[in-house]
């Protein structure tokens, strides 16, 4: 077999598929795949205590990274959309934090419109007053916004530092929002809409709930 024919493992962070394939697109949901040499399949942060630990750790290291995480777990945005957010999209002409964020998703082209939660607003206010970013909300020292791979390393390193054993990366923020919403009783239909997924089945697989849901059915049917 030639090098061009070699197949490598790729992972889909949208639906969880891990398969030996040549394609760069997931055959299950159509999302872009990550190679096993790059950003691998990640998990949500399931414990709210761990979420608070992540916030504290990140804030102690860099206030920018704390705000990135806080906004990420409260918005269900993909990392590609988080990193392209500009200061003018979160601050109005009078220097006040806007009530909502409106943007078009890079991957799907669909519109995203949601209000900032109180914790996000407070974090943004503190961040803007201290860091005073001028163009991108999450700037790099080298110019422009920080890169996706760097954001992934920031969150992966933070998770390891606070003792999380599961694989955590930049996509974990979107998964954490989804997982916590589901645990709070938000319907799969609403979560699917928030994620701009094409089907609820895709959302169920994305959350890894298939077996868990079936187990709950069997446990509830205690005849």
Q: Is 197 an annotated catalytic residue?
A: yes
Which of the following is catalytic: 10, 55, 171, 205? 171
Which of the following is catalytic: 10, 59, 64, 197? 197
Q: Is 148 an annotated catalytic residue?
A: no
Q: Is 206 an annotated catalytic residue?
A: yes
d(CA 144, CA 93): 22
* β-bridge pairing 18-21 and 111-115: unpaired
Q: Is 171 an annotated catalytic residue?
A: yes
d(CA 69, CA 44): 13
Which of the following is catalytic: 59, 64, 174, 175? 174
Q: Is 100 an annotated catalytic residue?
A: no
What is the DSSP secondary structure assignment for residue 134, as one 8-state letter? Answer: S
Which of the following is catalytic: 78, 175, 204, 205? 78
Q: Is 57 an annotated catalytic residue?
A: no
Which of the following is catalytic: 107, 119, 125, 160? 107
Residue 101: which H helix or E strand, with range? strand 100-104
> SS3 string of 19-62?
EEECCCECCCCCCECEECCCCCCCCCCCCHHHHHHHHHHHHHHC
Catalytic residues: 78, 107, 171, 174, 197, 206
């Amino acid at each position: 077999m030639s090098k061009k024919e070699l197949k490598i493992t790729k992972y889909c962070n949208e639906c969880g598929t891990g398969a030996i394939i040549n394609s760069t697109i997931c055959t299950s949901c159509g999302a872009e795949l990550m190679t096993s040499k790059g950003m691998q399949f990640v998990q949500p942060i399931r414990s709210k205590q761990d979420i608070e630990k992540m916030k504290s750790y990140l804030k102690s290291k860099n206030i920018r990274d704390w705000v990135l995480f806080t906004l990420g777990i409260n918005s269900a945005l993909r990392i590609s959309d988080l990193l392209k957010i500009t200061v003018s999209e979160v601050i109005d002409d009078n220097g006040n934090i806007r009530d909502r964020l409106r943007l078009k998703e890079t991957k799907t082209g669909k519109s995203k419109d949601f209000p900032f939660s109180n914790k996000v607003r407070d974090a943004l206010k503190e961040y803007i007053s201290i860091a005073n970013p001028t163009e991108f909300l999450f700037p790099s020292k080298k110019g422009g916004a920080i890169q996706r791979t760097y954001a992934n390393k920031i969150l992966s390193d933070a998770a390891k530092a606070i003792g999380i054993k599961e694989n955590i990366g930049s996509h974990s923020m979107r998964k954490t929002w989804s997982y916590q919403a589901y645990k709070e009783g938000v319907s799969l239909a609403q979560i699917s809409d928030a994620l701009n997924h094409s089907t609820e089945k895709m959302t169920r697989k994305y959350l890894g709930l298939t077996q868990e849901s079936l187990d709950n059915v069997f446990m509830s049917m205690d005849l």
